[in-house]
């Protein structure tokens, strides 16, 4: 089978397409013939050895995938060859076949395109874990989403509405704000041309923000934190802006508020039952039309480097997905 491999750490252009042996399932495992692979911002870091997860060389980027079961190991009873499934594996998905623990796979109904299924696990899974499990977002609360047009930002906008929040989208251009508004955001703030702290306070009102969803980092983090209300939660997702902010801890004291880390990947690796249940829930939302699972563009497997360059340049609205065999 063919696989995109990172044989040496470096930019996307250093990735290579190789022929490698097909995987063979062991007990409790399944092999999936991959149809689509979702790409994420952290894929641009992991190939440069700049991410907290450091798989041994050579490895394939890509943490989420969808396709058809093509082989089963001993003891697997809930799947059969030919089943449409989606799954998560931290890294290693950018190839024609993958081997995973069968318990981590979720069925994909015929009504959901495999491309969309492949692209929703990490972004919407992160948003689900942040908003509900770590942040306890409540109906009627006010949620500010930084980077609201990116993959994980869009997921937070849409799931924020699913959970009954008032959502303020924050982004770097009017085009991105229009995109977030079209996907459910109640208000928008351009943090390039507007004072983010002041505008968040104005839009949130007297009580301030209840939650900030922050995959951006940089200067925007402290500004958003300063707009939190009493008992608010600042959810730390990542640092797409490149700079890891040093937040003044006195703000947490003065506002009786929290800064909470959201390590979706670690949670998924620690609890296979949780990730399986989460993927099933998200697929249910997608089938019901409650989330869009928006895919901005698809690239063939061989053009993985081009897709990662697009993500690194922060040009993508929603997700980019690699396709296999098309």
- Segments making up each domain of the chain, as ranges: 2-120+271-323, 123-261
pLDDT band of 272, cuts 50, 70, 90:
confident
pLDDT of res. 259: 95
Task: Return the residue matching tokens 């922060």.
Answer: 314
pLDDT band of 186, cuts 50, 70, 90:
very high
Query: Is residue 148 within 8 Å of 154, Cβ to Cβ?
Result: yes
pLDDT averaged over the chain?
94
Alpha helical stretches, state H, 227-263: 250-255
Per residue in 200-241, pLDDT (tens digit) is 999 999 899 999 999 998 889 999 999 999 999 999 998 887
Phi, psi of 77, deg, nearest 5: -115, -15
Given a cut of 80, is residue 61 above it in pLDDT? Answer: yes
Given a cut of 90, is residue 108 above it in pLDDT? Answer: yes
Q: Domain 2-120+271-323 in CATH: superfamily?
A: Medium-chain alcohol dehydrogenases, catalytic domain (3.90.180.10)
Given a cut of 80, is residue 50 above it in pLDDT? Answer: yes
Domains 2-120+271-323 and 123-261 fall in the same CATH topology = yes
pLDDT of res. 326: 59
In sequence order, which residues have a C-beta less than 8 Å from that of residue 203 and are 6 or more positions away? 168, 187, 189
- Mean pLDDT, range 5-30, rounded to an integer: 97
pLDDT band of 103, cuts 50, 70, 90:
confident
> What CATH number belongs to 123-261?
3.90.180.10
Greatest distance between any 2 Cα atoms in the chain:
61
> Residue 166 and residue 16: Cα distance in Å, rounded?
45
DSSP annotation of 174 reads H
Which residue(s) pair with 142 in the sheet?
Answer: 166
pLDDT of res. 97: 98
Q: How many CA atoms lie within 13 A of 123 on its CB side?
A: 34
Report percent pLDDT > 90 for the chain.
Answer: 83
End-to-end CA distance of the chain: 15
Report percent pLDDT > 70 for the chain.
Answer: 100
């Amino acid at each position: 089978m063919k696989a995109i491999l990172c044989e040496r750490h470096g930019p996307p252009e250093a990735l290579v397409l190789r022929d490698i042996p097909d995987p063979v399932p062991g007990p409790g495992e399944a092999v999936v013939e991959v149809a689509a692979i979702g790409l994420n911002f952290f894929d641009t870091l992991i190939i440069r050895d700049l991410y907290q997860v450091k798989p041994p060389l050579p490895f394939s980027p890509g943490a989420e995938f969808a396709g058809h079961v093509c082989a089963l190991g001993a003891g697997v009873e809930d799947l059969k060859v030919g089943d449409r499934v989606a799954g998560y594996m931290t890294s290693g998905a950018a190839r024609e076949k993958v081997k995973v623990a069968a318990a981590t796979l979720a069925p994909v109904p015929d009504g959901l395109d495999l491309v969309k299924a492949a692209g929703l696990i990490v972004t919407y899974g992160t948003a689900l874990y942040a908003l509900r499990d770590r942040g306890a977002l409540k109906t009627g609360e006010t949620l500010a989403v930084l980077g609201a047009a990116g993959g994980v930002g869009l997921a937070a906008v849409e799931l924020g509405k699913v959970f009954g929040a008032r959502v303020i989208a924050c982004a770097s251009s009017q085009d991105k704000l229009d995109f977030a508004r079209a996907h459910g955001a109640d208000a928008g703030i351009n943090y390039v041309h507007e004072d983010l702290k002041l505008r968040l306070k104005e839009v949130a009102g007297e009580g301030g923000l209840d939650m900030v969803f922050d995959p951006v980092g940089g200067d925007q983090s402290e500004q958003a934190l300063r707009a939190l209300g009493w008992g608010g939660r600042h959810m730390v997702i990542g640092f797409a802006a490149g700079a890891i902010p040093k937040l003044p801890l006195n703000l947490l004291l003065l506002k009786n508020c929290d800064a909470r880390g959201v390590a979706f990947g670690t949670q998924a690796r620690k609890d296979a039952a949780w990730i399986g249940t989460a993927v099933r829930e998200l697929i249910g939302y997608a089938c019901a039309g409650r989330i869009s699972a928006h895919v901005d563009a698809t690239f063939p497997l061989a053009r993985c480097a081009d897709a990662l360059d697009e993500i690194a340049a922060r040009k993508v609205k929603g997700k980019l997905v690699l396709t296999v065999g098309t």
